[in-house]
Structure 1
Amino acid sequence: MDFEAVIGLEVHAQLLTKSKIFCSCSTEFGAAPNSHVCPVCCGMPGSLPVLNKRVVEFAIKLALATNARINPVSVFARKNYFYPDLPKGYQISQYELPLAEGGYIEIEVDGQKKKVGLVRIHMEEDAGKLIHDEARPVSYVDLNRTGVPLLEIVSEPDMRSPEEAVAYLKKLRSILRYLEICDGNMEEGSLRCDANISVRPRGSEKFGTKVELKNMNSFKHVQKALEYEIKRQIALILDGKEVIQETRLFDVARGVTQSMRGKEEAHDYRYFPDPDLVPVEISEHWIREIADTLPELPDAKKKRFMEEFGLPAYDAEIITSSRKLAEFFEACCKNFPKPKLVSNWIMTEVLRELNKEGKEIHETKLTPEHFVELLKLLDEGVISSTIAKQIFPEVYQGRSPKEIVEEKGLKQENDEDALRAICQKIVEAHPKEVEKYRQGKKNVIGFFVGQVMRETRGKANPKLVNKILTELLEA
């Protein structure tokens, strides 16, 4: 029997506000445990929450960017459940009247575009964090995160594969970062994803029993957890067993999901409007004001880069996945109008260093000015591609390419007579390779080019070397 997966994602995005959603405590990450707390976020009797206006503004930005319908009135509700890191015994969230509903995010997988619908976007507060002692059966509670503002983005069950789910999550993360309302750091927990997944016979309209997956803090973990869960559910059905509705955790070390608890339904939380918070009223004027501040978003920027700079779709997709990287690219093209060369170097050398350090371009010492300086030296034939790649790590650390080239004497060798003498010597030293070339194995010329580059320590002009070697080998 042929099965298909039905996947919906619930994403929690931690907002980049300076203070928490209902009090003035700092949201700074990494502070000493329980140092960013007050009577409000600790749930002390008599303390009253006051809504942070910036949180509403950020929520409206995301709703506009995802084509969602913004409700003129939304209401905060109490979601009642006990957990050690939830001091009040309830979480302030939104339920029946969320900030926004509907909308969609467009994804592309294997060249196929698809719109993934959104159910809702709503505001809520985060819970604290439990730290488990590995040596003793003790857990510590850090309440610094309690009350940090979150947006929960709930998708429709429109995704049919782990690849689509990852593409959706990456696109949502990119939009959040373009809007500068969430840093998207999954490892630090500022972007968290739960998945609801079921399987059904392909072509069936009826949904299967869904399972909720938690504890996925990277795109890779989301993909692996979904792949495992799809296989697990199909195996159960083929064995004539039932899939149980439950919440399961992804065990990263073993690459499997395991049961955590029975899945709660909405009524289990006893939602009711929070009596301490008035309804949130959003005017059309305020929405228009916020709309005017929105940046060019990833899809629009990708399309423009393809039209304006002639970039292939793949290059444009990678470069526009980060707003800062896209801005770096444009700054380079402004002073060096050869976009494909800029793009090629960003896609190879720059991204290699960024991935190695786990950084964004604006967190490094590499400047558009130094990067363009390097590409100009290469383009004008002052240095070879080999030398350019050799010195790039130093340029990445903030040094001027011109200074490095002058200091180390790395200017490209363009003296044809001097290069011809070196080429002649190398050709005469390798008669067997010369014979292979003359027998039709033309790719042997690469061997000779390599020998010349080694002899000149990478400083020979490759085009000139190829020309001279071809003349000598054809003679």
Structure 2
Amino acid sequence: MSTQTAREELAVVIGLEVHVQLETDTKIFCGCSTEPTEDEGPNARTCPTCLGLPGALPVLNEGAVEAAVKIGKALDADVPERTTFHRKNYYYPDLPKNFQITQYDAPICADGELEISVEGTRRSIGITRAHLEEDPGSLRHEGGSIETAEYTLIDYNRAGTPLVEIVTEPDFRSPAETRAFLAKLEEVLEYLGVFDANRDGSLRVDANISLVPESAVESDGSIPADALAEANRTEVKNISSHRGAEKALAYEVTRQRNAVRRGREVEQETRHWDESRGITVSMRSKEEEKDYRYFREGDLPALEVSDWRESIAIPELPDARRERFREEYGLEEESASKLTSSREIADFFEEIAETFDPDLAATWVADNLLGELHYRDMGILEVDDRLDEFERLIELVDEDELTAKNAEEVVLREMLDAGEDPETIVEREGLGTADTGEVEAAVEGAIEENPEAVADYHDGDDGAINFLVGQVMQRTGGSADPGEVNALLRDRLEG
């Protein structure tokens, strides 16, 4: 960038390359398992094919292809009649063959989009392409970071795990937008059942970032190709989370802005995100396409996939399910968003809503259950086999056999902490609802023993009623309904 550019307002331009590990039983080109075992050591899940030994031939995993087509459909992308594989040649220690089998000019998906929302503004992010490839192995830097390690260990267990690389258009204008995109993408992938966010390294991001003059941005927010070509871009690698992407890109925006303000050129290079220090560090000059010497993979024939788009079904996606929940169940936006944040949560809610009023089901799942699970760092999958127990708990409240307060604050928590069913907890703690006579007696006792509170109420202090309600609840061991107690107290005091 010139010194003249340094005096201009600068716009941020970001594009992402998102590497998604697919959930398949075996690797993409061999029969090695993708699932680690408890006693697994390094290089245990390897064979001549994924180690790139002479004479070993790849065989394509059909499940990986199906997963890629599902992703293409979810991103509203084109699936071509024919797709091919290429060899991407470069030397790096975690790549045992010294080339990566990937896709080049005929990817399995192209020209898609994904809509995101940032601070109430909805935008569509263009998807340039999504292609299949194999994952390299993993490196472990011993005794420090990538810059300071005493030595580096290589584990090829991950080598050959199927990946889909999703490449976006340079449509992001802030780090916050990239975080929103990654969260939305991960949500869609989990709904499709092709991705497990809990797997280590399941989603990794490379980000390309440039600064261009604000005057180059068109009225519709697009940036002409010549303006992008003039702006040197840096690639930031080793980003492994939504939050990490936002932090890495925020740092890089600041670094590049400072360089431009000081009249220095922004170098076109590849940088490493050092999460422990919160900075990017230079790794090497940025490669160009010609450096990889792409050529067709002769051991894999062209793949005919266009007919698969119609034959492979995908589930109802998050946005569609969220809108249906609002229309079918009459839920507010916040509740609908919570209840569709994962397919498993949405399924759990719909099971509850078949038996109970949707508002009651939404309150119990979105607020009570998810809140307690979050507090314990648990997920819905850890309790989804206990659906009948949670239905019974809601039934006890719905039929006035248990107060909502005791159900939420005692029984639900004990169910999660001790793994017991609601009836056992209710019986042990003596939490059944008090009968009418017991409640009325407690109301009379609270009024007789607290004349000052009664006087305050008659003097217009409506807050005094809350004190009296608390006294009644204490007398009944929390087994009375607070709303009923409030009504009985007011009736008695005003009668």
Q: How does 1:151-170 map to 2 (within 5 A)?
A: 151-170=164-183
Q: How does 1:83-162 map to 2 (within 5 A)?
A: 83-134=92-143, 137-162=150-175
Of 226, 238, 243 in structure 1, the residue corresponding to residue 266 of structure 2 is: 243
**Conservation of the 8 A alpha-carbon contact between 2:80 and 2:306:** no
Counterpart-to-counterpart distance in 1, 2:493 and 2:143: 69
How far is 1:359 from its partner?
A: 4.4
> Aligned in 2, Cα 1:268/1:377: closer, same or farther, shift over 3 Å?
same
Match of 1:464 in 2: 484
Which range moves more in the overlay, 220-229 or 433-442? 433-442
Q: Describe the SS at the equivalent of 2:86.
A: strand
Q: Describe the SS at the equivalent of 1:257.
A: strand
Of 341, 362, 367 in structure 2, the residue corresponding to residue 321 of structure 1 is: 341
Match of 2:52 in 1: 43
Q: How does 1:284-433 map to 2 (within 5 A)?
A: 284=307, 286-290=308-312, 293-336=313-356, 338-364=357-383, 367-389=386-408, 390-396=410-416, 398-415=419-436, 417-427=437-447, 429-430=449-450, 433=453
How far is 1:142 from its partner?
A: 1.2
Counterpart-to-counterpart distance in 2, 1:154 and 1:171: 15
Taking every aligned residue pair, what percent have the same amino acid on both sides?
Answer: 44
Match of 2:220 in 1: none
Counterpart-to-counterpart distance in 2, 1:438 and 1:162: 58
**Conservation of the 8 A alpha-carbon contact between 1:365 and 1:398:** no
Per-residue CA deviation, residues 234-256 of structure 1 (Å, 9 max, x unaligned), is 33333333332223333333333
Match of 1:178 in 2: 191
| Long gaps (5+) in structure 1 | none
Match of 1:22 in 2: 29
Per-residue CA deviation, residues 422-445 of structure 1 (Å, 9 max, x unaligned), is 344445555555555455443343
Of 281, 302, 320 in structure 2, the residue corresponding to residue 279 of structure 1 is: 302
> Aligned in 2, Cα 1:431/1:215: closer, same or farther, shift over 3 Å?
farther
Match of 2:222 in 1: none
Match of 2:206 in 1: 194
Q: Which amino acid in structure 2 is aligned with residue 450 of structure 1? A: G
Which range moves more in the overlay, 398-407 or 121-130? 398-407
> Aligned in 2, Cα 1:342/1:260: closer, same or farther, shift over 3 Å?
farther
Counterpart-to-counterpart distance in 2, 1:367 and 1:230: 48
> Aligned in 2, Cα 1:258/1:345: closer, same or farther, shift over 3 Å?
farther
User: Is 1:80 the equivalent of 2:89?
Assistant: yes
Match of 1:6 in 2: 13
Counterpart-to-counterpart distance in 2, 1:264 and 1:473: 82
Counterpart-to-counterpart distance in 2, 1:429 and 1:341: 37
Q: Which amino acid in structure 1 is aligned with residue 292 of structure 2? A: Y
Q: Describe the SS at the equivalent of 1:177.
A: helix
Counterpart-to-counterpart distance in 1, 2:181 and 2:246: 12
**Conservation of the 8 A alpha-carbon contact between 2:86 and 2:103:** yes
Aligned residue pairs total 469
Counterpart-to-counterpart distance in 1, 2:375 and 2:273: 26
**Conservation of the 8 A alpha-carbon contact between 2:238 and 2:273:** yes
Q: How does 1:59-74 map to 2 (within 5 A)?
A: 59-74=68-83
Counterpart-to-counterpart distance in 1, 2:118 and 2:306: 38
How far is 1:347 from its partner?
A: 2.0
Per-residue CA deviation, residues 295-352 of structure 1 (Å, 9 max, x unaligned), is 111121111111111111222122112111111111111122x112211222223223
Q: Which amino acid in structure 1 is aligned with residue 208 of structure 2? A: N
How far is 1:149 from its partner?
A: 0.5
Which range moves more in the overlay, 214-223 or 1-10? 1-10
Counterpart-to-counterpart distance in 1, 2:267 and 2:447: 73
Q: Describe the SS at the equivalent of 1:102.
A: strand
Per-residue CA deviation, residues 136-186 of structure 1 (Å, 9 max, x unaligned), is 82322211111111000111111222332122112211221111111133x
Match of 2:241 in 1: 218
| Long gaps (5+) in structure 2 | 1-7, 218-226
**Conservation of the 8 A alpha-carbon contact between 1:324 and 1:360:** no
**Conservation of the 8 A alpha-carbon contact between 2:438 and 2:476:** no
> Aligned in 2, Cα 1:47/1:412: closer, same or farther, shift over 3 Å?
same
Q: Which amino acid in structure 1 is aligned with residue 388 of structure 2? A: E
How far is 1:18 from its partner?
A: 1.0
Which range moves more in the overlay, 136-145 or 188-197? 136-145
Q: Which amino acid in structure 2 is aligned with residue 145 of structure 1? A: R
**Conservation of the 8 A alpha-carbon contact between 2:82 and 2:306:** no
**Conservation of the 8 A alpha-carbon contact between 2:79 and 2:306:** no
How far is 1:231 from its partner?
A: 2.8
Counterpart-to-counterpart distance in 2, 1:5 and 1:441: 58
Q: Describe the SS at the equivalent of 2:101.
A: strand
Counterpart-to-counterpart distance in 1, 2:362 and 2:156: 45
Match of 1:53 in 2: 62
How far is 1:201 from its partner?
A: 4.4
Q: How does 1:230-269 map to 2 (within 5 A)?
A: 230-269=253-292
Counterpart-to-counterpart distance in 2, 1:312 and 1:230: 37
Q: Please give the TM-score of this superposition, normalised by the length of structure 2.
A: 0.88
Which range moves more in the overlay, 391-400 or 167-176? 391-400
